[in-house]
């Protein structure tokens, strides 16, 4: 419990250092005046699809393709491993063992075909727009980390802006803040622990 309280304090210090000021009204006015377009905002759109009971959210079609390619390759490798197992010492395996391996190969081939069909369906995906509730000026360093994490960001003549997709709680409590702090290894017990400062 104590570590959690200290980690929240670390996240609060991080936000105090990296988040400059609210820019929500300014952004509303700039968009209404057509001085900034939604097309200028990076990571504003995302792609969402489902496979089995798994929800997959990606910021680009390339991410969708990488996801499917990764799992297809894993299944192809598993299939090759099963084929190798089937060929190895074939004469010492019982008919029941051979049947089990063959059934697993058939299941993997069906899974691979499903993933390939899913990729085909995603050739022309429709993106959805993230709902931004607040806009904040942020430091360039934080802007870069948010962009890498797929958060909506805008580099403008006015400064670097973050489109916060949640509201109603302190910024330091947002999951993305904890994730970035964890990546920086500044949480309690990590390499760059800020609780010791």
Are residues 70 and 93 both part of a single domain?
Answer: yes
Q: Which residue has the higher pLDDT, 91 or 110?
A: 110
Are residues 149 and 184 both part of a single domain?
Answer: yes
Identify whether 35 is part of a domain: yes
Domain count, the chain: 2
Which residue, 92, 121, 150, sits at the end of a domain? 121
Phi, then psi, of 75 in degrees rounded to 5: -70, -35
Which residue, 91, 121, 151, sits at the end of a domain? 121
Which residue, 79, 103, 121, sits at the end of a domain? 121
Identify whether 126 is part of a domain: no
Are residues 32 and 95 both part of a single domain?
Answer: no
What is the edge-to-edge ordering of all strands in the sheet holding 45-51? 54-58, 45-51, 128-129
pLDDT at 101: 76
The domain of 75 spans 47-121
DSSP state of 174: S
* Predicted TM-score of the model (pTM): 0.69
Q: Which residue has the higher pLDDT, 133 or 72?
A: 133
Are residues 71 and 136 both part of a single domain?
Answer: no
Identify whether 144 is part of a domain: yes
Are residues 57 and 116 both part of a single domain?
Answer: yes
pLDDT at 109: 78
Identify whether 149 is part of a domain: yes
Are residues 115 and 68 both part of a single domain?
Answer: yes
Long-range contacts of 145-149 (CB under 8 A, 24+ apart): 145/180, 145/183, 146/176, 146/180, 147/42, 147/43, 149/176, 149/179, 149/180
Identify whether 15 is part of a domain: yes
Per-residue pLDDT band for 28 (boundaries 50, 70, 90) equals very high
Expressed in angstroms, the distance from the first to the final Cα of the chain is: 20
Of the candidates 47, 82, 85, 89, which has an alpha carbon nearest to the alpha carbon of residue 68? 47
Identify whether 165 is part of a domain: yes
Of 18-27, 81-90, 148-157, the poorest mean pLDDT is in 81-90
Contacts (Cβ under 8 Å, ≥6 apart) of 161: 23, 27, 135, 136, 137, 138, 143, 153, 154, 155
Are residues 104 and 77 both part of a single domain?
Answer: yes
């Amino acid at each position: 419990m104590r570590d959690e309280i200290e980690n929240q304090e670390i996240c609060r210090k991080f936000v105090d250092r990296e988040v400059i000021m609210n820019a929500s009204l300014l952004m509303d006015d700039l968009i209404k005046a057509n001085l900034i377009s939604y097309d200028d905002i990076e990571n504003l759109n995302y792609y969402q699809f489902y496979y089995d009971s798994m929800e997959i959210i990606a910021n680009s079609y390339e991410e969708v393709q990488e996801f499917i390619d990764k799992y297809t390759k894993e299944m192809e490798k598993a299939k090759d491993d099963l084929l190798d197992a089937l060929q190895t010492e074939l004469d010492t395996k019982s008919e029941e063992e051979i049947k089990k391996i063959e059934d697993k190969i058939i299941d993997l081939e069906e899974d691979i075909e499903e993933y390939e069909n899913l990729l085909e369906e995603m050739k022309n995906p429709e993106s959805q727009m993230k709902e931004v509730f607040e806009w904040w000026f942020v430091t360039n360093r934080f802007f870069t980390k948010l962009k890498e994490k797929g958060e909506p960001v805008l580099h403008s003549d006015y400064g670097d802006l973050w489109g916060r997709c949640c509201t109603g709680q302190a910024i330091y409590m947002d999951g993305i803040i904890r994730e970035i702090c964890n990546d920086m290894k500044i949480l309690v017990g990590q390499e760059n622990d800020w609780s010791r400062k």
